[in-house]
Structure 1
């Protein structure tokens, strides 16, 4: 089984599982389209101060934090946490230093509270859940070669929070559900297209998955990588180690990954290359 670092995937899975499903009758959607109420996302766009991106945000931070609260509590109850005080102390020390890098960048309030857990499993993974809940598995600490690489992981998770990626992905998924349903109604209403309704529906679902949701996920991963490098730099860590981390992952997962367009995460080689270019462009180091 491939040990692949899927930073951030856990929070997406938990949130999307709990995301509100669109359940409207055909009549309700038609009336909503006419009134403009089925597409609330038209007025749900906001500019993220940290990234400068315009985002579709149908859910607030408090809403998604509440959705994730039970999942986080269950995870801490069901997954063993490390009893190795040295390991836990090391992770927390790196976390404290890295989060101060985000504070220095002006992306995180110095008074924000975080809950960081170190889980005692072999998973080569780390994740963040809404509500500033960060999980680090022992497996990722064993894969990394130094504190700088762990800081890269933790900075990445912080980047997901700063980028409001959970709220954006949930919003895009919800909007996509509405769009698909509206398209199905249009097909069913057409005598000619209705003959091919099931085939068109299947193609529409694939188009949303591969053309909207997965690219959003890959965009978020690359964005979180770069934000994490900013925080590493501010904290005094060696940003070149963020590239080294993905070179290690590329070597480990060679030939075992699906094509990038079918994956929620960018290819490790692409991540290493984009980080190298970003570090050079920012003047953090010369690579």
Structure 2
């Protein structure tokens, strides 16, 4: 039985951890943080905005896309050397043909991409900074037709268009700085000092469940919507995106975490969101 995964769950968590490990740390001295808190200047110091060249939106970004892509290069090389790629020419060509149709209708059309099709039962696909896409045989086999496969590939391009890797890393770095500031504030308070450990732990949980995970879930839904746009532009049947997630839901593990504890929305949530989006855009009536 195929291992149920929401496109990127397993590999992407490992990849993100590797990237975050290599990311520059926000190291402010205790005195600097206290001074910043008093002046209200800690978060302006930590914040940095850039313009997304594909969407024109202003976004939080501590690092450039090229820098993150360079950091991801070794992880991508290691993954390809450790995971066998498929020798099934028909399966690989199927992925590349669908990829070609999707890629050419996106804002990143014509850019250089590295697409690998891995010989694994994992129901999984992922994208890494630097236009690197990994697709597992398991998810290709799960897809009943090319329209459903285009849902997966359009979703992955959506992550790169909205620079989700950069956003996620930047917010993790910002959260690190916020926790440091909070711990200093607690340790500077005579009233709260005895409870500093508990307050710090509570702050970490609040950031994780209240900011980081919901943000990740919204990124997934944003990539879902972008994927549907590209499906429609490429001439694929957008209704098949619903069918794909029905298949994913049928294969979902009974031990799945509650949605508020997960980085990915529940398949049922994604189905409802996609149905509303497709109807609102007029792509189809579902």
TM-score by length of 1: 0.91
Residue matched to 1:20: 24
SS of match in other structure, 2:263? coil
SS of match in other structure, 2:134? strand
How far does residue 111 in structure 1 lie from its aligned partner after superposition? 2.8
Residue matched to 2:261: 262
Decide which moves more: 73-82 or 153-162.
73-82
SS of match in other structure, 2:105? helix
Aligned partners of 1:6 and 1:265 also within 8 Å? no
How far does residue 50 in structure 1 lie from its aligned partner after superposition? 5.3
Residue matched to 1:29: 33
Residue matched to 1:155: 154
How far does residue 27 in structure 1 lie from its aligned partner after superposition? 2.7
Asked whether 1:121 is paired with 2:126, we answer no
Decide which moves more: 27-36 or 17-26.
27-36
How far does residue 78 in structure 1 lie from its aligned partner after superposition? 0.9
Aligned partners of 1:226 and 1:278 also within 8 Å? yes
Separation in 1 of the partners of 2:182 and 2:54? 35
Map 1:270-281 to 2 at 5 A.
270-281=269-280
Aligned partners of 1:15 and 1:166 also within 8 Å? no
Separation in 2 of the partners of 1:279 and 1:48? 25
Q: Deviations over 1:198-241 (max 9, x none)?
A: 10011000001001110110010000000000001111111111
Separation in 1 of the partners of 2:17 and 2:238? 29
Map 1:150-229 to 2 at 5 A.
150-229=149-228
How far does residue 89 in structure 1 lie from its aligned partner after superposition? 0.9
Gaps of 5+ in 2: none
What do you get for the CA RMSD once the two structures are aligned? 2.1
SS of match in other structure, 2:133? strand
Q: May I ask how many residue pairs the two structures share in their alignment?
A: 281
Aligned partners of 2:6 and 2:264 also within 8 Å? no
Asked whether 1:75 is paired with 2:79, we answer yes
Residue matched to 1:92: 96
Aligned partners of 2:46 and 2:177 also within 8 Å? no
Aligned partners of 1:6 and 1:126 also within 8 Å? yes
TM-score by length of 2: 0.91
Q: Deviations over 1:111-156 (max 9, x none)?
A: 3100000011111100000000000011111111111111100000
